[in-house]
Chain A
Amino acid sequence: MRLSEIRVAGFGGQGVILSAILLGKAASIYENGFATMTQNFGPEARGGACSAQLILSDEPVLYPYVTRPDIMVVMSQEAYNRFAPELKPAGMLIVEEDLVRVTDLKGDPKVYSIPATRMAEELGKRMVLNSVMVGFFTAVTKLLTADAVRKAVADSVPPSFRELNLQAFEKGYEYGNKELAAAPPRQGLQELAYSSE
């Protein structure tokens, strides 16, 4: 499990921080890896730019901040404009396709997009868009096993929303697998992934 630097960004209220918590929990509790999550902590609560930094590794994480993200998940245009320039040239960009227009992208990152908000609305609650996104992330990055992330989702959301969030996860995960089959990552990107062998 190579050290991976991840940034998740969007606007307040989208579940940006919870997305990072779910992935960090999956890595550190259900996969025996190490995860350190920090959040940009400012006066904005709802609607403002919101971002979380997550470092996954098979060794204890020392430096707690992301310097050059390998993977970036963006759920708003503002977040894209602000953070996309940080992404490693051969990294991976994951976007909410209805909310982010990918322009002026530097380097040659692999881009995967998903209409996560629309899919969450189809499930009946826009709120679960982060679980859709986390499912999608799990499929396209292959950093974590789906089972570990499912467990993290199940024990992190209120019991009354557990089923809905797990459905949202599966929807995102299936969509991700289809996208991945249609456009597999280059060799360099596969090195990013935790090897499951």
Chain B
Amino acid sequence: MKADPRGVLTGTHFLDGDHACCEGALAAGARFAAGYPITPSTEVVERFAARVPTVGGCFIQMEDELAASIALQGGVWGGAKAFTVTSGPGFSLMMEHIGYAAMTETPCVFVDVQRGGPSTGLPTLPAQADMMQARWGSHGDYEIIALCPNSPQECFDLTIQAFNFAEEFRVPVMFMMDEVVGHMTEKVVIPPADEIDVTPRKHTHKSVEDYLPYSTNGDMVPEMAHAGDGYNFHVTGLTHDEHGYPNMTPQVQDKLVRRLQNKIRSAADRICLFEEDRLDDADVVVVSYGITSRVAQRAIDAARDQGLKVGKLRLITAWPFPEKKIAELAAHVKAFVVPELNLGQMVHEVKRAADGNAKTFAVSHAGGAVHNPDEILNTIVEASRC
């Protein structure tokens, strides 16, 4: 279906990434957010709080991130599309409820504008060190989807994509921005509402008597009931059967948890978005995401100028990890170079997927700034010689 024109600020704007993310959420149909504002993500909800009442929604500033991350799920079960916005310290506090959203299959979006950590770290400066936390931060076995924009335009476009994935797969989607992308201002083109595809909630058409909240019809994603239409249903973080009631047998646990994983893994080819460039003749592939992909591009261009055969793989989807693509490339390239604003996170995934068929070089950075492109270039040169 197409976007509701009331939420779409069609036109050409000069926006920072945080504001563009807010406009993406409104265009996607988000009408509720609960948050505990934190630098460098504050501008997202600051704008949302001002904008959303004009389109019939609301924002609640909660007492903390635990409350925010569960209030948003109340909003979703009440019928709204909803999200919350935070940064590292708040993201840590939200982990319990990210697991709850995964277990209860609550479609929602968590925006994390990454700053330097651990703990309160560098409130106003960038990092990309929450990437593993986004995937593994809550306990138990589950899958999420994580997207990484590298410009304000993508903060708009991919926020819509995040909401669409959340609805399609009934999964919490992590929107992994970083401080630079959040605070940089560039041109953002917002198309007319009738050019924006939004995925509606997967509502059931079954009768009240026939509806089973967690039964699936072969596609692994159950249908939701519309609150207020007379359906009685029970939502719990305990292991539950098709009726939604606790059933703590190993058989029910196995069936449920495998489905939570497989509904994402089986669709990984479609969820894994990436951008590639000059991979055809590449000996070395630079794998990067977020702001680092733009810095890396400068290094790639400089390496090409030196005659080195280097290509680019930019991860737009970080989770599920595009392991198939990496494995294909590993079969015919010498090495991967992985710059990221952390001391080594996604590089381990690249190494795992390459499975010994190509070497892996990390270009680590503790955060607080972006890489110097020369650091990446030096590693490309080193990798070319391996």
Contact = CB atoms under 8 A, between A and B. Distances in A.
Nearest to A25: B14
Interface stretch (A38-46, A134-142, A176-184): A38-46
A28 interface: yes
A24 B184 CA distance: 11
A35 B179 CA distance: 18
Interface stretch (B222-230, B235-243, B292-300, B349-357): B292-300
Contacts of B291: 64
A28 B186 contact: yes
B294 A35 contact: no
B373 interface: yes
Contacts of A38: 180, 183-185
B124 A41 contact: yes
A65 B14 contact: no
A40 to B, nearest CB: 9
B187 interface: yes
B186 A62 contact: no
Interface in A111-170: none
A25 B180 CA distance: 19
A72 interface: no
A42 B297 CA distance: 28
A25 B12 CA distance: 10
In the A-B complex, list the 10 residue pairs whose CB atoms are closest, starting with the nearest: A28-B187, A37-B185, A25-B14, A62-B294, A41-B124, A62-B297, A38-B184, A62-B298, A63-B298, A64-B184
22 contacts: A21-B14, A24-B14, A24-B186, A28-B187, A34-B186, A34-B187, A35-B186, A36-B184, A37-B14, A37-B184, A38-B183, A38-B184, A38-B185, A41-B40, A41-B124, A62-B294, A62-B295, A62-B298, A63-B373, A64-B291, A64-B294, A65-B370
Interface of B: 12-14, 40, 124, 179-180, 183-187, 291, 294-295, 297-298, 370, 373
